[in-house]
Amino acid sequence: MNRKLLNFIVTIVLAFILSQFLPWWSIMVAAFITSIFLSLKKGAVFFIPFLAIAFFWMIYSFWLSSSNDFTLAKKIAVLFPLGGNPYILILVTGIIGGIAAGVAGIFSKQFSLILNNRR
């Protein structure tokens, strides 16, 4: 299996498991762990965790919001300049989570480079 696809899938699975027990930042832990063990190169270090967590958070928030007919999402979307559109709020949520995971992926790559240079 392609290393990028494997990293994508493992990041989503690990983020789902960790999100059951830990707060929102568990996605960063998932991206960090998968990027340590399934290292990527160049831009993929940021974009694979970004896409994995953005996809995960958008699907997960859509699933949670659809169970209550997007009531809370509509109210929160009014607070932001989103015109009360819950779907744009879900998109923004995915982007924010993706950025957090991408930064964690870059951090894990830098961390592994530091550890390899000390040996």
Contact criterion met (CB below 8 Å) for 104 and 31:
yes
Q: Please tell me the predicted confidence (pLDDT) of residue 58.
A: 96
Instruction: Report which of residues 116 and 95 the model is more confident about.
Output: 95
Q: What is the mean pLDDT of residues 95-99?
A: 96
Q: Please tell me the predicted confidence (pLDDT) of residue 39.
A: 83
Q: What is the mean pLDDT of residues 53-77?
A: 93
Q: Please tell me the predicted confidence (pLDDT) of residue 11.
A: 95
**pTM of the complete model:** 0.90
Residues making up the chain, counted from first to last: 119
